[in-house]
Structure 1
Protein backbone atom coordinates (compact mmCIF):
# COMPACT_ATOMS: atom_id res chain seq x y z
CA UNK A 1 0.00 0.00 0.00
CA UNK A 2 1.44 3.35 -1.04
CA UNK A 3 2.29 6.05 1.48
CA UNK A 4 3.60 9.59 1.28
CA UNK A 5 7.02 8.27 2.31
CA UNK A 6 6.95 5.71 -0.51
CA UNK A 7 6.00 8.38 -3.05
CA UNK A 8 8.82 10.69 -1.91
CA UNK A 9 11.33 7.85 -2.24
CA UNK A 10 10.08 6.83 -5.68
CA UNK A 11 10.19 10.40 -7.02
CA UNK A 12 13.75 10.87 -5.73
CA UNK A 13 14.78 7.63 -7.42
CA UNK A 14 13.07 8.53 -10.71
CA UNK A 15 14.72 11.96 -10.70
CA UNK A 16 18.01 10.41 -9.61
CA UNK A 17 18.34 13.16 -6.99
CA UNK A 18 18.82 12.59 -3.27
CA UNK A 19 19.24 16.27 -2.44
CA UNK A 20 15.67 17.47 -3.08
CA UNK A 21 13.74 15.98 -0.15
CA UNK A 22 12.09 19.26 0.88
CA UNK A 23 11.42 20.31 -2.71
CA UNK A 24 9.81 16.93 -3.47
CA UNK A 25 7.59 17.22 -0.38
CA UNK A 26 6.48 20.68 -1.48
CA UNK A 27 5.86 19.48 -5.03
CA UNK A 28 3.63 16.65 -3.80
CA UNK A 29 1.62 19.13 -1.71
CA UNK A 30 1.28 21.43 -4.72
CA UNK A 31 0.18 18.50 -6.90
CA UNK A 32 -2.58 17.51 -4.45
CA UNK A 33 -3.74 21.14 -4.19
CA UNK A 34 -3.90 21.34 -7.99
CA UNK A 35 -6.52 18.57 -8.12
CA UNK A 36 -8.46 19.01 -4.88
CA UNK A 37 -11.21 20.89 -6.76
CA UNK A 38 -11.20 18.47 -9.67
CA UNK A 39 -14.58 16.76 -10.23
CA UNK A 40 -13.81 13.12 -9.56
CA UNK A 41 -16.51 10.53 -8.87
CA UNK A 42 -15.32 10.22 -5.26
CA UNK A 43 -13.94 12.66 -2.73
CA UNK A 44 -10.25 11.93 -2.23
CA UNK A 45 -10.21 13.89 1.01
CA UNK A 46 -7.22 15.65 2.53
CA UNK A 47 -3.54 15.21 1.86
CA UNK A 48 -1.73 12.63 4.05
CA UNK A 49 -1.18 13.88 7.61
CA UNK A 50 2.07 11.93 7.99
CA UNK A 51 4.63 10.13 5.85
CA UNK A 52 3.47 6.73 7.11
CA UNK A 53 -0.30 7.25 6.79
CA UNK A 54 -1.89 4.37 4.91
CA UNK A 55 -5.04 4.27 2.79
CA UNK A 56 -4.90 7.90 1.68
CA UNK A 57 -6.62 8.12 -1.73
CA UNK A 58 -4.09 10.61 -3.12
CA UNK A 59 -1.35 8.03 -2.46
CA UNK A 60 -3.35 5.04 -3.72
CA UNK A 61 -6.13 5.71 -6.24
CA UNK A 62 -4.52 8.91 -7.57
CA UNK A 63 -0.89 7.89 -7.00
CA UNK A 64 0.19 8.02 -10.63
CA UNK A 65 -1.42 11.41 -11.20
CA UNK A 66 0.12 13.03 -8.09
CA UNK A 67 3.55 11.51 -8.67
CA UNK A 68 3.69 12.71 -12.29
CA UNK A 69 2.42 16.18 -11.38
CA UNK A 70 4.91 16.46 -8.50
CA UNK A 71 7.80 15.65 -10.84
CA UNK A 72 6.56 18.30 -13.25
CA UNK A 73 6.46 20.81 -10.37
CA UNK A 74 10.08 19.97 -9.50
CA UNK A 75 11.29 20.44 -13.08
CA UNK A 76 9.45 23.74 -13.48
CA UNK A 77 10.28 25.32 -10.14
CA UNK A 78 13.45 23.69 -8.85
CA UNK A 79 15.66 22.54 -11.72
CA UNK A 80 18.18 25.23 -12.63
CA UNK A 81 17.48 25.28 -16.36
CA UNK A 82 14.14 23.66 -17.22
CA UNK A 83 14.57 24.77 -20.85
CA UNK A 84 17.06 21.94 -21.24
CA UNK A 85 14.38 19.44 -20.21
CA UNK A 86 11.62 20.28 -22.69
CA UNK A 87 11.34 16.66 -23.80
CA UNK A 88 10.97 15.50 -20.20
CA UNK A 89 8.37 18.20 -19.49
CA UNK A 90 6.38 17.15 -22.56
CA UNK A 91 6.48 13.49 -21.53
CA UNK A 92 5.34 14.38 -18.01
CA UNK A 93 2.45 16.41 -19.44
CA UNK A 94 1.39 13.39 -21.50
CA UNK A 95 1.71 11.15 -18.43
CA UNK A 96 -0.48 13.51 -16.38
CA UNK A 97 -3.16 13.65 -19.09
CA UNK A 98 -3.19 9.86 -19.37
CA UNK A 99 -3.33 9.42 -15.58
CA UNK A 100 -6.30 11.79 -15.43
CA UNK A 101 -8.06 9.94 -18.26
CA UNK A 102 -7.55 6.52 -16.67
CA UNK A 103 -8.58 7.84 -13.25
CA UNK A 104 -11.78 9.35 -14.60
CA UNK A 105 -12.55 6.24 -16.63
CA UNK A 106 -11.93 3.84 -13.76
CA UNK A 107 -14.26 5.78 -11.46
CA UNK A 108 -17.04 5.45 -14.04
CA UNK A 109 -16.96 1.65 -13.77
CA UNK A 110 -17.97 -0.78 -11.07
CA UNK A 111 -21.52 0.45 -10.41
CA UNK A 112 -24.74 -1.38 -11.19
CA UNK A 113 -28.27 -0.16 -11.83
CA UNK A 114 -31.60 -1.71 -12.78
CA UNK A 115 -32.06 -1.91 -16.54
CA UNK A 116 -34.51 0.57 -18.02
CA UNK A 117 -34.07 3.20 -15.31
CA UNK A 118 -32.53 6.65 -15.11
CA UNK A 119 -29.75 5.17 -12.98
CA UNK A 120 -28.91 2.70 -15.75
CA UNK A 121 -28.82 5.45 -18.38
CA UNK A 122 -26.53 7.62 -16.25
CA UNK A 123 -24.17 4.67 -15.71
CA UNK A 124 -24.11 3.75 -19.39
CA UNK A 125 -23.35 7.34 -20.42
CA UNK A 126 -20.55 7.49 -17.84
CA UNK A 127 -18.99 4.35 -19.25
CA UNK A 128 -19.49 5.29 -22.90
CA UNK A 129 -17.79 8.68 -22.51
CA UNK A 130 -15.28 7.39 -19.96
CA UNK A 131 -16.07 9.97 -17.30
CA UNK A 132 -17.28 9.23 -13.79
CA UNK A 133 -16.69 12.71 -12.45
CA UNK A 134 -19.43 14.76 -14.15
CA UNK A 135 -22.57 13.26 -12.62
CA UNK A 136 -24.41 16.59 -12.39
CA UNK A 137 -23.65 17.40 -16.02
CA UNK A 138 -24.91 13.99 -17.13
CA UNK A 139 -28.14 14.43 -15.14
CA UNK A 140 -28.65 17.90 -16.64
CA UNK A 141 -27.98 16.62 -20.17
CA UNK A 142 -30.58 13.86 -19.79
CA UNK A 143 -33.15 16.39 -18.56
CA UNK A 144 -32.33 18.67 -21.50
CA UNK A 145 -32.72 15.74 -23.91
CA UNK A 146 -36.16 14.87 -22.53
CA UNK A 147 -37.26 18.51 -22.70
CA UNK A 148 -36.16 18.65 -26.35
CA UNK A 149 -38.71 15.96 -27.30
CA UNK A 150 -41.43 16.14 -24.65
CA UNK A 151 -43.81 18.13 -26.89
CA UNK A 152 -43.65 15.65 -29.80
CA UNK A 153 -46.15 12.90 -30.57
CA UNK A 154 -44.92 9.35 -30.00
CA UNK A 155 -46.88 6.11 -29.83
CA UNK A 156 -46.23 5.97 -26.08
CA UNK A 157 -47.60 9.40 -25.15
CA UNK A 158 -51.05 9.09 -26.72
CA UNK A 159 -53.82 8.49 -24.19
CA UNK A 160 -57.58 8.25 -23.82
CA UNK A 161 -57.40 7.98 -20.04
CA UNK A 162 -58.09 11.66 -19.28
CA UNK A 163 -61.65 11.79 -17.92
CA UNK A 164 -63.24 14.77 -16.21
CA UNK A 165 -66.63 15.85 -14.94
CA UNK A 166 -68.16 19.16 -15.98
CA UNK A 167 -69.52 21.71 -13.56
CA UNK A 168 -72.98 23.17 -14.10
CA UNK A 169 -72.89 26.61 -15.76
CA UNK A 170 -69.08 26.49 -16.28
CA UNK A 171 -67.96 26.55 -19.91
CA UNK A 172 -64.17 26.97 -19.54
CA UNK A 173 -61.82 24.61 -17.70
CA UNK A 174 -58.14 25.06 -16.85
CA UNK A 175 -55.51 23.02 -15.01
CA UNK A 176 -56.07 25.28 -12.01
CA UNK A 177 -59.65 23.95 -11.65
CA UNK A 178 -60.14 21.13 -9.18
CA UNK A 179 -60.41 17.80 -10.96
CA UNK A 180 -58.98 19.13 -14.21
CA UNK A 181 -55.30 19.27 -13.17
CA UNK A 182 -54.24 16.85 -15.93
CA UNK A 183 -55.04 19.48 -18.54
CA UNK A 184 -51.56 20.83 -17.79
CA UNK A 185 -50.16 17.71 -19.50
CA UNK A 186 -52.23 17.98 -22.68
CA UNK A 187 -50.09 18.76 -25.73
CA UNK A 188 -52.57 18.10 -28.55
CA UNK A 189 -56.27 17.20 -28.32
CA UNK A 190 -57.33 14.49 -30.78
CA UNK A 191 -60.94 14.05 -29.70
CA UNK A 192 -63.42 14.94 -26.95
CA UNK A 193 -66.32 12.65 -26.03
CA UNK A 194 -69.21 13.47 -23.70
CA UNK A 195 -71.23 10.69 -22.04
CA UNK A 196 -74.97 11.39 -22.03
CA UNK A 197 -77.07 8.74 -20.34
CA UNK A 198 -74.19 6.32 -20.67
CA UNK A 199 -73.88 6.89 -24.42
CA UNK A 200 -70.80 8.52 -25.98
CA UNK A 201 -71.28 11.60 -28.17
CA UNK A 202 -68.56 13.33 -30.17
CA UNK A 203 -67.75 16.95 -29.44
CA UNK A 204 -66.88 18.81 -32.62
CA UNK A 205 -63.74 20.99 -32.58
CA UNK A 206 -64.16 24.69 -33.30
CA UNK A 207 -61.62 27.56 -33.52
CA UNK A 208 -61.46 29.91 -30.51
CA UNK A 209 -63.12 32.88 -32.25
CA UNK A 210 -66.19 30.75 -33.05
CA UNK A 211 -67.10 30.70 -29.37
CA UNK A 212 -66.90 34.49 -29.20
CA UNK A 213 -69.70 34.67 -31.79
CA UNK A 214 -71.85 32.04 -30.12
CA UNK A 215 -72.23 33.30 -26.57
CA UNK A 216 -75.65 32.30 -25.26
CA UNK A 217 -77.10 32.07 -21.80
CA UNK A 218 -78.91 28.78 -22.31
CA UNK A 219 -77.31 25.55 -21.15
CA UNK A 220 -77.35 21.98 -22.42
CA UNK A 221 -74.97 19.08 -22.81
CA UNK A 222 -71.89 20.27 -24.74
CA UNK A 223 -71.33 19.21 -28.34
CA UNK A 224 -68.52 21.61 -29.38
CA UNK A 225 -65.09 22.18 -27.89
CA UNK A 226 -62.13 24.48 -28.39
CA UNK A 227 -58.85 25.40 -26.73
CA UNK A 228 -57.62 28.89 -25.93
CA UNK A 229 -55.85 30.73 -23.12
CA UNK A 230 -54.71 27.40 -21.65
CA UNK A 231 -58.34 26.41 -21.18
CA UNK A 232 -60.75 23.87 -22.65
CA UNK A 233 -63.95 25.56 -23.90
CA UNK A 234 -67.24 23.66 -24.05
CA UNK A 235 -70.41 24.75 -25.88
CA UNK A 236 -73.23 24.90 -25.00
CA UNK A 237 -72.41 25.61 -21.39
CA UNK A 238 -72.91 22.35 -19.46
CA UNK A 239 -76.31 22.12 -17.81
CA UNK A 240 -74.98 19.69 -15.23
CA UNK A 241 -72.28 17.15 -14.40
CA UNK A 242 -71.27 15.26 -17.56
CA UNK A 243 -68.35 12.93 -17.90
CA UNK A 244 -65.86 14.08 -20.52
CA UNK A 245 -63.17 11.88 -22.07
CA UNK A 246 -60.24 13.52 -23.85
CA UNK A 247 -58.07 11.63 -26.31
CA UNK A 248 -54.78 13.48 -26.62
CA UNK A 249 -51.02 13.59 -26.75
CA UNK A 250 -49.85 14.03 -23.18
CA UNK A 251 -46.54 15.23 -21.80
CA UNK A 252 -44.61 12.19 -20.55
CA UNK A 253 -42.87 13.11 -17.31
CA UNK A 254 -39.16 12.60 -16.75
CA UNK A 255 -38.25 9.94 -14.18
CA UNK A 256 -38.82 11.08 -10.61
CA UNK A 257 -35.86 9.05 -9.32
CA UNK A 258 -32.91 6.99 -10.55
CA UNK A 259 -34.78 3.77 -9.70
CA UNK A 260 -38.20 4.56 -11.22
CA UNK A 261 -39.30 1.67 -13.43
CA UNK A 262 -41.16 1.73 -16.77
CA UNK A 263 -40.60 5.38 -17.60
CA UNK A 264 -40.98 5.56 -21.41
CA UNK A 265 -38.03 7.92 -21.85
CA UNK A 266 -35.78 5.28 -20.23
CA UNK A 267 -37.30 2.32 -22.11
CA UNK A 268 -39.11 3.05 -25.39
CA UNK A 269 -37.08 6.20 -26.17
CA UNK A 270 -33.86 5.16 -24.41
CA UNK A 271 -31.61 5.36 -27.48
CA UNK A 272 -33.01 8.76 -28.46
CA UNK A 273 -32.48 10.29 -25.02
CA UNK A 274 -29.08 8.68 -24.38
CA UNK A 275 -27.59 9.88 -27.67
CA UNK A 276 -29.13 13.36 -27.38
CA UNK A 277 -27.76 13.62 -23.82
CA UNK A 278 -24.25 12.78 -25.05
CA UNK A 279 -24.59 15.39 -27.77
CA UNK A 280 -25.57 17.94 -25.10
CA UNK A 281 -22.55 16.97 -22.99
CA UNK A 282 -20.04 17.33 -25.82
CA UNK A 283 -21.63 20.61 -26.89
CA UNK A 284 -21.85 22.35 -23.51
CA UNK A 285 -19.47 20.84 -20.91
CA UNK A 286 -16.10 22.55 -21.17
CA UNK A 287 -14.18 19.57 -19.76
CA UNK A 288 -15.14 17.37 -22.71
CA UNK A 289 -16.24 19.91 -25.32
CA UNK A 290 -15.92 18.36 -28.78
CA UNK A 291 -17.97 19.71 -31.71
CA UNK A 292 -17.28 16.64 -33.83
CA UNK A 293 -18.59 14.24 -31.19
CA UNK A 294 -21.53 16.53 -30.47
CA UNK A 295 -22.51 16.37 -34.15
CA UNK A 296 -21.98 12.60 -34.24
CA UNK A 297 -24.31 11.90 -31.33
CA UNK A 298 -26.87 14.43 -32.52
CA UNK A 299 -26.96 12.49 -35.78
CA UNK A 300 -27.51 9.23 -33.89
CA UNK A 301 -30.31 10.91 -31.92
CA UNK A 302 -31.94 12.05 -35.16
CA UNK A 303 -31.82 8.48 -36.49
CA UNK A 304 -33.49 7.21 -33.31
CA UNK A 305 -36.10 9.98 -33.60
CA UNK A 306 -36.88 9.02 -37.21
CA UNK A 307 -37.43 5.42 -36.15
CA UNK A 308 -39.74 6.39 -33.29
CA UNK A 309 -41.75 8.68 -35.56
CA UNK A 310 -41.97 5.97 -38.21
CA UNK A 311 -43.32 3.50 -35.66
CA UNK A 312 -45.81 6.11 -34.42
CA UNK A 313 -47.06 6.74 -37.97
CA UNK A 314 -47.16 3.03 -38.79
CA UNK A 315 -49.43 2.33 -35.82
CA UNK A 316 -52.02 4.75 -37.21
CA UNK A 317 -52.20 2.83 -40.51
CA UNK A 318 -55.65 1.52 -41.48
CA UNK A 319 -56.16 -0.71 -44.51
CA UNK A 320 -53.87 0.02 -47.47
CA UNK A 321 -53.51 3.69 -46.53
CA UNK A 322 -51.50 5.45 -43.91
CA UNK A 323 -53.22 8.12 -41.89
CA UNK A 324 -50.90 10.95 -41.01
CA UNK A 325 -50.43 11.36 -37.26
CA UNK A 326 -51.88 14.52 -35.80
CA UNK A 327 -49.27 17.24 -35.51
Structure 2
Protein backbone atom coordinates (compact mmCIF):
# COMPACT_ATOMS: atom_id res chain seq x y z
CA UNK A 1 0.00 0.00 0.00
CA UNK A 2 1.42 3.35 -1.06
CA UNK A 3 1.57 6.08 1.59
CA UNK A 4 1.56 9.85 1.52
CA UNK A 5 5.33 9.77 2.02
CA UNK A 6 5.77 7.29 -0.84
CA UNK A 7 3.94 9.69 -3.13
CA UNK A 8 6.05 12.64 -1.99
CA UNK A 9 9.23 10.65 -2.52
CA UNK A 10 8.18 9.52 -6.00
CA UNK A 11 7.50 13.09 -7.09
CA UNK A 12 10.79 14.34 -5.67
CA UNK A 13 12.60 11.54 -7.50
CA UNK A 14 10.82 12.33 -10.77
CA UNK A 15 11.86 15.96 -10.47
CA UNK A 16 15.35 15.07 -9.22
CA UNK A 17 14.90 17.62 -6.45
CA UNK A 18 15.41 17.24 -2.71
CA UNK A 19 14.57 20.82 -1.71
CA UNK A 20 10.84 20.96 -2.47
CA UNK A 21 9.33 19.01 0.44
CA UNK A 22 6.71 21.58 1.46
CA UNK A 23 5.91 22.52 -2.13
CA UNK A 24 5.38 18.87 -3.09
CA UNK A 25 3.02 18.36 -0.14
CA UNK A 26 1.01 21.43 -1.15
CA UNK A 27 0.87 20.26 -4.77
CA UNK A 28 -0.44 16.84 -3.72
CA UNK A 29 -3.14 18.42 -1.55
CA UNK A 30 -4.19 20.71 -4.43
CA UNK A 31 -4.21 17.80 -6.88
CA UNK A 32 -6.48 15.76 -4.62
CA UNK A 33 -8.83 18.73 -4.21
CA UNK A 34 -8.97 19.06 -7.98
CA UNK A 35 -10.19 15.49 -8.46
CA UNK A 36 -12.20 14.77 -5.33
CA UNK A 37 -15.34 16.18 -6.96
CA UNK A 38 -14.98 13.61 -9.76
CA UNK A 39 -16.84 10.35 -9.25
CA UNK A 40 -14.54 7.33 -9.25
CA UNK A 41 -15.23 3.79 -8.09
CA UNK A 42 -13.30 4.41 -4.87
CA UNK A 43 -15.09 7.56 -3.66
CA UNK A 44 -18.67 6.39 -4.22
CA UNK A 45 -20.03 4.03 -1.58
CA UNK A 46 -22.99 2.33 0.07
CA UNK A 47 -20.84 0.71 2.75
CA UNK A 48 -21.69 3.02 5.65
CA UNK A 49 -24.77 3.08 7.86
CA UNK A 50 -25.99 5.13 10.79
CA UNK A 51 -28.82 4.82 13.27
CA UNK A 52 -31.57 7.35 13.88
CA UNK A 53 -32.34 8.70 17.32
CA UNK A 54 -35.93 9.04 18.51
CA UNK A 55 -36.97 12.67 18.21
CA UNK A 56 -33.84 13.77 16.29
CA UNK A 57 -34.15 15.38 12.86
CA UNK A 58 -30.55 16.25 11.91
CA UNK A 59 -27.60 13.84 11.56
CA UNK A 60 -23.98 14.90 11.12
CA UNK A 61 -20.50 13.71 12.05
CA UNK A 62 -21.60 12.32 15.41
CA UNK A 63 -23.92 9.90 13.59
CA UNK A 64 -21.49 9.04 10.80
CA UNK A 65 -18.06 10.62 10.31
CA UNK A 66 -18.44 10.73 6.52
CA UNK A 67 -21.68 12.75 6.48
CA UNK A 68 -19.98 16.19 6.53
CA UNK A 69 -17.75 15.02 3.66
CA UNK A 70 -20.61 14.13 1.32
CA UNK A 71 -20.23 15.67 -2.13
CA UNK A 72 -23.34 14.08 -3.60
CA UNK A 73 -26.00 12.13 -1.72
CA UNK A 74 -27.54 9.92 -4.40
CA UNK A 75 -30.18 8.24 -2.29
CA UNK A 76 -30.95 7.18 1.27
CA UNK A 77 -32.44 3.86 2.38
CA UNK A 78 -34.20 3.09 5.64
CA UNK A 79 -34.23 -0.43 7.09
CA UNK A 80 -37.08 -1.38 9.40
CA UNK A 81 -36.99 -5.15 9.56
CA UNK A 82 -38.43 -5.78 6.10
CA UNK A 83 -37.54 -4.54 2.64
CA UNK A 84 -35.52 -1.32 2.51
CA UNK A 85 -37.46 1.89 1.99
CA UNK A 86 -35.95 4.46 -0.37
CA UNK A 87 -36.60 7.92 1.02
CA UNK A 88 -37.68 10.77 -1.23
CA UNK A 89 -35.07 13.46 -1.73
CA UNK A 90 -36.04 17.12 -1.32
CA UNK A 91 -34.18 20.33 -2.00
CA UNK A 92 -33.57 22.33 1.16
CA UNK A 93 -36.28 24.93 0.42
CA UNK A 94 -38.81 22.21 -0.43
CA UNK A 95 -37.93 20.39 2.77
CA UNK A 96 -38.62 23.59 4.72
CA UNK A 97 -42.18 23.64 3.40
CA UNK A 98 -42.56 19.92 4.03
CA UNK A 99 -41.56 20.32 7.68
CA UNK A 100 -43.98 23.16 8.14
CA UNK A 101 -46.90 20.98 7.08
CA UNK A 102 -46.43 18.59 9.97
CA UNK A 103 -44.34 18.51 13.13
CA UNK A 104 -45.38 14.99 14.18
CA UNK A 105 -43.13 11.96 14.52
CA UNK A 106 -43.19 8.82 12.40
CA UNK A 107 -41.12 6.62 10.14
CA UNK A 108 -39.03 8.92 7.91
CA UNK A 109 -39.94 8.94 4.23
CA UNK A 110 -38.12 12.07 3.06
CA UNK A 111 -34.75 13.75 3.53
CA UNK A 112 -32.54 16.63 2.50
CA UNK A 113 -28.84 17.44 2.83
CA UNK A 114 -27.92 20.90 4.10
CA UNK A 115 -25.28 22.42 6.41
CA UNK A 116 -23.26 19.19 6.16
CA UNK A 117 -26.13 17.29 7.77
CA UNK A 118 -28.85 14.86 6.70
CA UNK A 119 -32.32 15.98 7.81
CA UNK A 120 -35.18 13.47 8.04
CA UNK A 121 -38.95 13.86 7.85
CA UNK A 122 -41.04 12.95 9.73
CA UNK A 123 -38.96 13.05 12.90
CA UNK A 124 -38.00 9.44 13.73
CA UNK A 125 -40.33 7.74 16.19
CA UNK A 126 -38.02 4.75 16.57
CA UNK A 127 -34.43 3.66 15.94
CA UNK A 128 -33.93 2.88 12.23
CA UNK A 129 -30.83 1.88 10.29
CA UNK A 130 -30.06 4.30 7.47
CA UNK A 131 -27.81 3.53 4.50
CA UNK A 132 -26.70 6.46 2.31
CA UNK A 133 -25.48 5.92 -1.22
CA UNK A 134 -23.04 8.76 -1.67
CA UNK A 135 -20.08 10.39 -3.36
CA UNK A 136 -17.81 11.66 -0.61
CA UNK A 137 -14.39 13.13 0.16
CA UNK A 138 -11.81 10.63 1.37
CA UNK A 139 -10.01 11.38 4.62
CA UNK A 140 -7.45 14.10 3.99
CA UNK A 141 -3.82 13.04 3.74
CA UNK A 142 -1.85 14.55 6.62
CA UNK A 143 0.69 12.18 8.20
CA UNK A 144 3.44 10.55 6.17
CA UNK A 145 2.03 7.08 6.87
CA UNK A 146 -1.50 8.02 5.76
CA UNK A 147 -2.83 6.00 2.86
CA UNK A 148 -6.02 5.96 0.80
CA UNK A 149 -7.14 5.58 -2.80
CA UNK A 150 -5.37 8.79 -3.82
CA UNK A 151 -2.02 7.24 -2.93
CA UNK A 152 -2.92 3.88 -4.48
CA UNK A 153 -5.71 3.56 -7.06
CA UNK A 154 -5.19 7.11 -8.34
CA UNK A 155 -1.50 7.47 -7.48
CA UNK A 156 -0.40 8.04 -11.07
CA UNK A 157 -3.07 10.68 -11.67
CA UNK A 158 -2.29 12.61 -8.48
CA UNK A 159 1.44 12.25 -9.05
CA UNK A 160 1.23 13.72 -12.54
CA UNK A 161 -1.16 16.50 -11.58
CA UNK A 162 1.01 17.51 -8.64
CA UNK A 163 4.01 17.69 -10.97
CA UNK A 164 1.96 19.74 -13.43
CA UNK A 165 1.27 22.27 -10.67
CA UNK A 166 4.93 22.36 -9.72
CA UNK A 167 6.08 22.73 -13.33
CA UNK A 168 3.53 25.51 -13.85
CA UNK A 169 3.70 27.54 -10.66
CA UNK A 170 7.21 26.93 -9.36
CA UNK A 171 9.62 25.50 -11.92
CA UNK A 172 8.19 27.29 -14.98
CA UNK A 173 8.99 24.30 -17.16
CA UNK A 174 6.84 24.39 -20.29
CA UNK A 175 8.02 21.02 -21.61
CA UNK A 176 7.25 19.40 -18.27
CA UNK A 177 3.80 20.98 -18.25
CA UNK A 178 3.04 19.57 -21.69
CA UNK A 179 4.25 16.08 -20.80
CA UNK A 180 2.15 16.03 -17.65
CA UNK A 181 -0.95 17.26 -19.48
CA UNK A 182 -0.77 14.30 -21.87
CA UNK A 183 -0.14 11.79 -19.09
CA UNK A 184 -2.88 13.23 -16.88
CA UNK A 185 -5.48 12.73 -19.59
CA UNK A 186 -4.34 9.15 -20.11
CA UNK A 187 -4.53 8.29 -16.40
CA UNK A 188 -7.87 10.09 -15.98
CA UNK A 189 -9.32 8.18 -18.94
CA UNK A 190 -8.11 4.90 -17.43
CA UNK A 191 -9.78 5.66 -14.08
CA UNK A 192 -12.98 6.71 -15.81
CA UNK A 193 -12.96 3.43 -17.75
CA UNK A 194 -12.42 1.38 -14.59
CA UNK A 195 -15.24 3.27 -12.89
CA UNK A 196 -17.61 2.71 -15.80
CA UNK A 197 -16.68 -0.98 -16.05
CA UNK A 198 -17.33 -1.53 -12.35
CA UNK A 199 -20.61 0.37 -12.18
CA UNK A 200 -22.24 -0.25 -15.55
CA UNK A 201 -25.17 -2.67 -15.54
CA UNK A 202 -24.84 -3.69 -19.16
CA UNK A 203 -28.50 -2.81 -19.71
CA UNK A 204 -29.73 -0.06 -21.98
CA UNK A 205 -32.03 2.39 -20.26
CA UNK A 206 -34.93 3.99 -22.06
CA UNK A 207 -34.75 7.76 -22.43
CA UNK A 208 -37.74 9.86 -21.34
CA UNK A 209 -38.85 12.60 -23.70
TM-score by length of 2: 0.86
Does residue 239 in structure 1 map to residue 122 in structure 2? Answer: no
Structure 1 residue 198: Cα displacement: 5.1
Matches within 5 A, 1:217-232: 217-232=103-118
Alignment partners' CA distance in 2, 1:174 and 1:194: 17
Alignment partners' CA distance in 2, 1:322 and 1:220: 35
1:253 to 139, 148, 164: 139
Residues 224-233 or 147-156, more deviating: 224-233
Structure 1 residue 197: Cα displacement: 2.9
Unaligned runs of 5+ in 2: none
SS at match of 1:312: helix
Alignment partners' CA distance in 2, 1:299 and 1:141: 18
Shift of the 191–137 alpha-carbon distance from structure 1 to 2, 3 Å rule, reads same
Structure 1 residue 322: Cα displacement: 7.7
Larger RCO (CA within 8 A; separation ≥ 6): 2
1:309 to 177, 192, 197: 192
Q: Which residue of 2 aligns with 1:25?
A: none
TM-score by length of 1: 0.57
Q: Rg bigger for which structure?
A: 1
Q: Which residue of 1 aligns with 2:150?
A: 265
Unaligned runs of 5+ in 1: 1-114
Structure 1 residue 256: Cα displacement: 3.7
Alignment partners' CA distance in 2, 1:203 and 1:183: 17
Structure 1 residue 191: Cα displacement: 1.8
Q: Which residue of 1 aligns with 2:66?
A: 182
Residues 189-198 or 214-223, more deviating: 189-198
SS at match of 1:232: strand
Matches within 5 A, 1:5-20: none
Q: Which residue of 2 aligns with 1:142?
A: 28
Alignment partners' CA distance in 2, 1:143 and 1:161: 25
Structure 1 residue 251: Cα displacement: 0.8
Alignment partners' CA distance in 2, 1:266 and 1:124: 11
Q: Which residue of 1 aligns with 2:46?
A: 160
Preserved CA contact (<8 Å) 1:254 1:265: no
Alignment partners' CA distance in 2, 1:222 and 1:143: 38
Matches within 5 A, 1:78-227: 116-175=2-61, 178-197=62-81, 199-214=83-98, 215=100, 216-227=102-113
Task: Give the structure with the larger helix fraction.
Answer: 1
Kindly tell me the number of residue pairs found equivalent between the two proteins: 204
Instruction: Give me the CA root mean square deviation.
Output: 2.2
Alignment partners' CA distance in 2, 1:283 and 1:164: 44
Alignment partners' CA distance in 1, 2:205 and 2:184: 25
2:182 to 286, 289, 299: 299
Shift of the 255–217 alpha-carbon distance from structure 1 to 2, 3 Å rule, reads closer
